[in-house]
Amino acid sequence: MNAHDPEFAGADLAKLHYGDGDFAVLKPGRYVLCAVTGVKIPLEALRYWSAARQEAYASAVEASQRFQETGSV
């Protein structure tokens, strides 16, 4: 099995705990999913998340959209 096997694709999804200024890896992986769009966000590119909602966002646009929807950070 390698990273190009369809059965292996789910193993790349990381599980994180989002803090105020950083995150902790609970389950190793290569990416997380944007809570707004569902797009894959490589961990090395992850810059936007909500510690209160424990959600990741692909960019400031999605983070702002979620803030407008919920009225909270």
Query: Is 34 inside any structural domain?
Result: yes
Question: For the segment 24-69, what is each residue's pLDDT rounded down to a tens digit?
Answer: 999 999 999 999 999 999 999 999 999 999 999 999 999 999 999 9
Query: Is 17 inside any structural domain?
Result: yes
Query: Is 52 inside any structural domain?
Result: yes
Query: Is 23 inside any structural domain?
Result: yes
Here the tokens at position 18 are 């989002």
3 pLDDT above the threshold of 60 = no
Domain that holds residue 16: 6-70
The tally of domains found in the chain comes to: 1
Question: What does the pLDDT read at residue 1?
Answer: 40
CB neighbours of 53 closer than 8 A, spacing ≥ 6? Answer: 35, 66, 70
Residue type, 71: G
Query: Is 1 inside any structural domain?
Result: no
Cα dihedral 1, 45, 72, 69 sign: negative
Query: Is 18 inside any structural domain?
Result: yes
